[in-house]
Homo-oligomer: A and B are copies of this chain.
Amino acid sequence: MRDAYQEQLDELADGLAGMCDEVAAAMQKATRSLLEIDLQLAEEVISEDVRVDDLRAAAEEKAFALLALQAPVATDLRTVVSAIHGAGDIERMGDLALHVAQAARRRHPHPVLPEEVAPYFAEMGRVGVELARKAGQVIRTRDLAQAAQLESDDDAMDDLHRHMFTVLMDRNWSHGVGPAVDITLLARFYERYADHAVAVARRIVYVVTGQMPGPLTV
């Protein structure tokens, strides 16, 4: 009995880690669709988002069954509750990758990004994908040192996010209001994506230590 139970807990964690890999791949593709003005890639991200939604529903069902049938306590209960939170965060990361792809599709065949801001988005994409992958690894390994690493990656994302506003507000901004509006929203999507990855890692810290790390500034 205990073995089947432990197996269910492991399956739950595997499912979440797999979701992280899915949304990392989605954000990587979405960023490429944005930078390479690739409609096909954007469409892929948009049509594949339902997979993440399904994985989330499956994870919630699994968590629910565990609560109902096994009545876990202590660390196991924290694990299940954190999985419920984590599934929500990771699904939202998928939605945000979807929003990036939708922006690329909306402006196609025109680029969303003026040439001089494209490198910042390449970097935000890189950091975001890295964060999603690391969140997946933290779910698998429960490595607190790696969980702490996500915080500094998120600082890098926040710096990029802030920098985009400096660029937009600069007198030399020559692309007008439309691209500025697109960039404002896109930068926000990447920044929120990173916040959710950090939230996932923080929940794992809570599972292991019983304590939540300090609040995420948003």
Which residues of A line the B interface, CB within 8 A? Answer: 53, 63-64, 67-68, 71, 73-74, 77-78, 81, 84-85, 88, 95, 99, 165, 168-169, 173, 176-178, 180-181, 184-185, 188, 215, 218
Q: In the assembled complex, which residues on chain B have CB atoms less than 8 Å from the CB atom of A180? A: 177, 180-181
Q: Is the interface of A mostly helix, strand, loop or mixed?
A: helix
Beyond A67-B71, A95-B218, A176-B177: 4 further Cβ-contacts under 8 Å? A68-B74, A85-B88, A168-B181, A180-B181
A173 pairs with B177, CB closer than 8 A: yes
In whole angstroms, how far apart are the Cα atoms of A160 and B84 in the complex? 32
Cβ distance A204 to chain B, nearest Cβ, rounded Å:
16
Identical subunits present? 2
Q: Which residue of B lies closest to A53 (CB)?
A: B215
Partner of A67 from the list B77, B85, B88, B177 (CB cut-off 8 Å) is B77
Cβ distance A214 to chain B, nearest Cβ, rounded Å:
11
Cβ distance A210 to chain B, nearest Cβ, rounded Å:
11
A81 pairs with B53, CB closer than 8 A: no
Cβ distance A80 to chain B, nearest Cβ, rounded Å:
8
Cβ distance A196 to chain B, nearest Cβ, rounded Å:
11
In whole angstroms, how far apart are the Cα atoms of A201 and B67 in the complex? 23
B169 pairs with A178, CB closer than 8 A: yes
